Amino acid sequence: MTLAIFDLDNTLLSGDSDHAWGLFLAELNVVDANHHRREQQRYYADYVAGKLDIHEFLRFQLQALKDNDPADLRQWRERFVSEKIVPMISQHAYDLVRRHRAQGHTLMIITATNRFITQPIAHKFDVDVLIATEPEMVNGRFTGEVQGVPCFQDGKVTLLHTWLTEHGGDLNGSWCYTDSHNDLSLMQVVDHPVAVNPDHVLTAEAKYRGWPILEFQHPNTHA
């Protein structure tokens, strides 16, 4: 198999699904809007600076899953994807995935955002293989904890190699698309790393290493 690996937030999407989910819950008065917005901004600044404490962030981000009934969460998620995520999907992103599918590649989304949020988004792209941060469930309810390794920075590489071992795959001819320098360790293990709307650190690294850089224009969306 030839893998085509896609980051999700700010790569296939023109925004951050984790951040958008928090704002959406604030609109529904499920979380305190001012507190949530302030904490999201603080964590995002740490993410951009490459110093995010992923465990601290996930405790914050998964609290809403812990505090609410799964049936309500699923109902809210359906609205969230329709109202907030679909407008973030550009034609350029859709076409990129479609080109790799046409070449017979195995499509994979790998994202730090938790599976509860990202599973239906992966379905929007018709991507069956999703590696994401796994929110723990016990007796049908979310605990607010993470199951296994968070899918972030080197954790993405760890989880990717686990998947490859389980499925008898390898990285020969593999592709990876991402916007963030937090994914540099992932980009370095594939044969064809591509920066998509990269942050300034990744831009500099891509230019230094001769990696292609794609700049998606996001106004044209694919429903």
Domain ranges, residue 64: 3-214
The answer to whether residue 87 scores a pLDDT higher than 60 is yes
Determine the 3-state secondary structure of 91 from DSSP.
helix
183 part of the active site: no
Q: Which amino acid is at 3?
A: L
Sole residue written with tokens 């008065």: 29
Count structural domains, the chain: 1
- Asked whether residue 43 is domain-assigned, the answer is yes
Q: What is the helix (H) or strand (E) element at residue 54, kind and residue range?
A: helix 54-61
- Asked whether residue 94 is domain-assigned, the answer is yes
Determine the 3-state secondary structure of 5 from DSSP.
strand
Query: Which of the residue ranges 53-57, 78-82, 153-157 would you say has the lowest mean pLDDT?
Result: 53-57
pTM of this structure? 0.93
Contact in structure between 135 and 147 (CB atoms under 8 Å): yes
The tens digit of pLDDT for each residue in 181-199 reads 999 999 999 999 999 999 9
9 part of the active site: yes
Long-range CB pairs of 149-153, under 8 A, 24+ apart, other chains included:
150/54, 150/55, 150/58, 150/112, 151/110, 151/111, 151/112, 152/52, 152/54, 152/112, 152/182, 153/54, 153/182, 153/183, 153/185
pLDDT at 6: 98
pLDDT at 2: 97
The tens digit of pLDDT for each residue in 39-59 reads 988 988 898 888 889 999 999
Query: Which of the residue ranges 34-43, 89-98, 144-153 would you say has the lowest mean pLDDT?
Result: 34-43
Winning range, highest mean pLDDT, from 33-37, 58-62, 216-220:
58-62
Q: Residue 75's domain is classified under what CATH number?
A: 3.40.50.1000
Reference 182, options 211, 164, 159, 155; nearest CA is: 155
